[in-house]
Amino acid sequence: MEEKCEVPKREGWSSLIKNEDWLAVWIGFLLIVLVLAAYQWKLIDLKKVNPSFKWATNGQIDSRADKWTSTIDPLIKDAEAKDEMGTVNRLNALKEALAKKDRKEIQKTSEKVILIGGIPGAVAKEINDHAKAVPDKVFTADNITRAVKIGVVFLIIATIGLKLFGGVPLGKFMLGFPIIFTLAWLSRFLAGNALPVDYGFEYVVFCLIVGLLISNTVGVPEWLMPAVRTEYYIKSGLVILGAGILFFEIMQGGALGIIQGILVVAVVWYFCFWFATKVLKVDDDFAAMLSSGVSICGVSAAIATCGAIEGDKKKLSYVASLVLIVAVPMMVIMPWVIKATGIPELVGGAWIGGTLDTSGSVVAAGALVGEAAMKTGVIVKFSQNVLIGVAAFILSIVWTLKACKAGAAGVEKPSARIIWERFPKFVLGFLIASAFFSFLLHIDTVSATKGILGELRTWWFALAFMSIGLETRFLDMAKMEGGRPALAFIVAQALNVVWTLALAYLLFGGVIFPVPDIR
């Protein structure tokens, strides 16, 4: 028997604390306010809040010495040609330290080169980051205490939020959350090693791998599941992300993102629905959820579609899992392709933002390419999110007409209220945070709080991707309808990859419009 996704009841004031999207907004805002208060009144030293996860063994430093030396040699020649003898002397001192493979000396001399700035400074910073990342520092009492303090704050705030939300066994959540947080800490530790750092494998990849290993081998105990809350964590992190993206950047890229979104959704949605229903004989409801998930913005779009057409919740769960599983290899492969083929950073970001179907994966994949790519990807993704309401409205009309034609009764007519109730409220939180940091705060405050807000955002995303891994099982998905829905989704995603890349070049590559000033 199918369990239908109900059309939401009319929202009242209680929805401000009974809706997960709104809770994510309040959690994000609360953490932002606490950080700003701590900075304004000097309550704590924000520079001493973030724990360190970077580490490299002496052997890893030694093995990289020759590579770094070969990078420094042309910089020395260039400085000599410009008669910049101060730069030459500092670079030679760093080169000698690398030749001796003296870790302390490498750290000391690289710090002096960093002060030069430019390319020499950037190269020296990479070397310095590795040299000072002594493994023992990660396990110092101070560093571990920093992580524990963040975990305690998150536990308190998340528990209060779920208490207001209701229906969650708080005892089990409070018991399970420290375990999820510890697994996220372990994943960040593994990701902090020099090897994955050099290859661009971020913490989210390790969170997914650790979670998937547990869920598909020993399994996840039932008492731990209340703490596995993907959407709750990721939406809270996305609200905080808004504080790191200035509003003028959204305005610059947003219009282009909307254009790209409309063209992507129009082509990919129709193709997926046609391929699923006509070729693979998937039912219309299932095909609609698959089409919205692959073409608009993943899980949120699938949820909105399920509500609009009153679809089967089991099918919705299938689509949500499929979206997350497909995103895993794509979020690793796409950044590699961008770097390997020399795709411009903004084009790569727009490609990622228009193709990956989860906001968190867009952030992770974009970060592997660069800051500008991450920002562009998020701008495109949120611009595309605007189409959720449009899609829900259209689907409500179409499915209402289908139901009326079939003689069904009690079908609620689509309205602006339904669209509002299905619109992801955390997007509003993101935009408000972005506007606040863009127009109301001094640039010094924005710069001073950037690091700690970025760390808090990273922890939410780490918890979210650990949850994704823990709640994903390959076998259950493979059995549903013989894999035909999965095939439809994957084929449509393949088209999405090619079509979106072409649009990204046209819109963000300077072909039709000037290249946006996103840095």
Reading the chain (519 residues) residue by residue, the pLDDT tens digits are: 454 544 455 556 666 777 788 899 999 999 999 999 999 999 999 989 999 999 999 999 999 899 899 889 988 998 999 899 999 999 999 999 999 999 999 999 999 999 988 778 888 888 998 999 999 999 999 999 999 999 999 999 999 999 998 888 999 999 999 999 999 999 999 999 988 877 656 787 788 789 989 998 999 999 999 999 987 898 888 789 888 776 665 555 567 877 888 898 889 999 999 999 999 988 888 889 899 888 887 766 776 677 667 667 567 767 877 776 787 788 889 999 998 899 999 999 999 988 886 666 777 688 678 767 877 888 888 777 667 656 766 776 676 666 555 554 454 555 566 556 656 677 788 878 988 998 999 889 988 998 999 999 889 989 987 887 888 776 665 666 777 898 999 999 999 999 999 999 999 888 888 887 776
Q: What pLDDT, on a 0 to 100 scale, did the predictor assign at position 408?
A: 47
The tally of domains found in the chain comes to 1
DSSP 167: S
Q: Comparing C-alpha atoms, which of 438, 395, 449 is closest to residue 418? A: 395
Domain that holds residue 106: 58-132
Q: What pLDDT, on a 0 to 100 scale, did the predictor assign at position 6?
A: 47
Can you say how many angstroms the Cα of residue 226 is from the centroid of all Cα atoms in its chain?
Answer: 22
71 within domain boundaries: yes
What is the Rg, in whole angstroms, of the alpha carbon atoms belonging to the chain? 24
124 within domain boundaries: yes
Contacts by 11-14, CB closer than 8 A, 24 or more apart:
11/417, 11/420, 11/421
Please, which residues have CB within 8 angstroms of residue 41's CB and are 6 or more apart in sequence?
Answer: none
From the number of C-beta atoms within 10 Å of its C-beta (0-12, 13-18, 19+), residue 376 rates as: buried
475 within domain boundaries: no
Separation of alpha carbons 179 and 172, rounded Å: 11
Place of tokens 């003689």: 407
How far CA 30 is from CA of 35, 150, 158, 438, 454, in Å, comes to 9, 14, 11, 18, 15
Separation of alpha carbons 247 and 432, rounded Å: 9
First and final C-alpha spacing in the chain: 52
The dihedral over CA atoms of 310, 312, 314, 316, expressed in degrees to the nearest 10, equals -50
Q: What pLDDT, on a 0 to 100 scale, did the predictor assign at position 398?
A: 73
How far CA 73 is from CA of 65, 68, 95, in Å, comes to 12, 9, 8
pTM beyond 0.85: no
CB 314 within 8 A of CB 286: no
CB 54 within 8 A of CB 133: yes
H helix runs in 370-442, sequence order: 371-385, 387-405, 416-422, 425-435
- Partners of residue 312 on adjacent β-strands: 4
- For residue 168 the two structure tokens come to 């969650």
257 within domain boundaries: no
Q: What pLDDT, on a 0 to 100 scale, did the predictor assign at position 256?
A: 81
Q: What pLDDT, on a 0 to 100 scale, did the predictor assign at position 94?
A: 95
CB 353 within 8 A of CB 503: no
92 within domain boundaries: yes
Q: Phi and psi dihedrals of 314, rounded to 5?
A: -65, -40
- Partners of residue 4 on adjacent β-strands: 312
491 within domain boundaries: no
Separation of alpha carbons 173 and 154, rounded Å: 12
127 within domain boundaries: yes
Please, which residues have CB within 8 angstroms of residue 459's CB and are 6 or more apart in sequence?
Answer: 150, 154, 184, 237
The dihedral over CA atoms of 375, 435, 237, 495, expressed in degrees to the nearest 10, equals -40
90 within domain boundaries: yes
Can you say how many angstroms the Cα of residue 360 is from the centroid of all Cα atoms in its chain?
Answer: 2
